[in-house]
Structure 1
Amino acid sequence: MTHRTIAGGEPVRVVLAGAGSMGRAWLSTIILAPDVELAGVADIDVGAARSAVAEAGHPDLPVGADAVALATAVGADAVVDATVPEAHHPVTTAALFAGLAVLGEKPVAATLAQALSLAAAAEVTGELFMVSQSRRWNPQLFALQAMAGDLGAIGTLTTEFFRAPHFGGFREEMDHPLLLDMAIHPFDSARFVLGAEPVAAYCEAYNPPWSWYAGAAAATAVFEMEGGVRYIYVGSWCSPGAETSWNGVWRVSGEKGSARWDGDTEPVLDADVQPVTRTPAPYSGIAGALQVFVDALRTGATPMGEVHENVPSLAMVEAAVRSADGGGRVLIDDVLQQAHEQALREETRADVRAALAGWTSVRHALTT
């Protein structure tokens, strides 16, 4: 999708929406980023915004309760949305229609229907909306993806994730804390490593008897990907001892061998192929996502993480949850179609609804 570009010569002026823990991580990242100027910080708790800019050493930065109003007042070019998931849809919609590009935290929205609405809103406005799926911006993951390309046909990709964090708060009360709050990261990374989109999902989620979570803190999911590859995710958020990396432990199994990644160090290729020397990826974490976002605004290129490209990762989560709740295999196209119908029912903007109605196939709309 084409989007508005911003000429060089002056830094891209950004307003940060959200002054919570993730917002403060973004605050320090934006301050240090080249070719970016932090123009203000917004939070519904204006006191939290004031505290955040003061702690960052910039007490004179403009603050406010409404990110779009603040961005308009200070002449910003873009909004970085680090609000809670429930706020992603209203904040991003308002920003796009105010002529602001948006770099948003995952998930793209609280529901898949809202995610489709945001993709349509980006089409209508011609503004860039990119999702910062931060764990995809990992040079080691890029190296694993390159190794997967050396293995010939791929049969299986696996991720094992076992940790035991005591978060407190909302995560410990969720119905599916692992699938809804964490699994989107490896699901998104699996799409990247394989260069393939999901076709179907089967998932069993459960809560071990010692779990301190109210909902299912453990899950096993099997995804059929395009080309017949299987992606298998096994994880638990209540598994003390021998904990894996936060990135999980990965294995790619192909016709010429395998590649393995422990999530923290460089991946290892075990295959009967001549290793190819490649330049390491220059991006890492949210700083890398911000760099790619700014580059896309300058050049007009469609970045990895653009809203249409990111939505299938949320669809994988939705399909896994449906399978876990209802049993049986769930088709991704069915999930997308039902979300599309819901988006049409819920959409309040006539122009966005018209764009959604013009999608003859949701998968086609997302991939073209």
Structure 2
Amino acid sequence: MTKNTSTPRAPARRLSWNDPATRALVYQALILSLVGFAVWYLVSNTLHNLAARNISTGFGFLRQEAGFAIGESVVAYTPADTYGRAIWVGLLNTLRISVIGIIAATLFGTLLGIARLSRNWLLSRVASAYIEVMRNIPLLLQLFFWYAIITESTPGPREALNPLPGVFLSNRGLKLPSLQGDALDWITAGLGMAIIGILLLAHWGRKRQDATGKIFPLVRVGVLLLFALPAAGWLLSGGALTVELPELKGFNFTGGMSLSPEFSALLAGLVMYTSAFVAEVVRSGIQSVNQGQWEAAGALGLSRARMLRLVILPQALRVIVPPMTSQYLNLTKNSSLAVAIGYPDIVSVVNTTLNQTGQAIEGILIIMAAYLTVSLSISIFMNWYNKRIALVER
């Protein structure tokens, strides 16, 4: 007698309103239809109104000559360049202030968060007062405050403060010496190779420590690479390298490197404001670690600083990283307030562009696309890092 091993076929699904899956499909189709109709209506109505007013559309204006100057830029720019080049300069200025602000706010906020948990009564109270004050004053007011301090309380260029040789502080900004010469590209390449080498050595050192228990001296080797590789690049280039000092000519300084009052005020405001929120994130992360971890580290004879660095903070990172992502995104988006104090970020540059061309919709779309791209990039990186440090269940 043979045994029937064939799998019975599932009964055919009948379309019925009593079937939850059928109702779900109908509801989703209706919602998608409504959204599609709303988008079509808005786009067609906008295009009709623009055509009725003889307003041109499209992004062809990006190839036209801009005709306006930008106070500071990371790359070369002149008024004869195109609007596309001007917007690129504004985007680079936004990225510049965001990257420097994120690094500075992370370092300062971490120190503040640790200080708030300090056993020193005065230090913890000062940190707490700073955090509460900065968190409850609007960022825009802080930007106005720092800009007024920098521009009103510092002297003019002729009476500029000179705390160090080649360093001048005035209401035109901070002037610093700069490196000039053909060897600068080689030195920059050597510095980049040193950073990549340190990251690779850190990854290899962790694997080596897991396998053998031996700790690789990453700090000493990293410092050596940071000095040796740029020096090697300078020697291999054979080019000249000179130090250009700022020099007062007429009513302002020429030469050297300059940090404008707008950049300095924006950086100070963003760092001071965001670091207060970062400090609370760090504090909550440290307090989430079980007290037994402190006691176990103390039983091993570790100092409090080494306990924090080797035992507590690595575990607290799993709690710190997710909310820290929100603070990084907030700092990047808050940089758009730069237009209030005259820093030429992407919002300021696009505003000037749309005032000259009348391409308001295209300009707003460019700003939205720029911030969306930057924010998603930060989120993707932080999510990757969060998965990397997450506990893996066996």
| TM-score > 0.5, shorter chain as reference | no
- Please give the TM-score of this superposition, normalised by the length of structure 1: 0.24
The structure with more helix, counted as a fraction of residues: 2
- Which has a greater percent of strand? 1
Relative to the length of structure 2, the TM-score reads 0.22
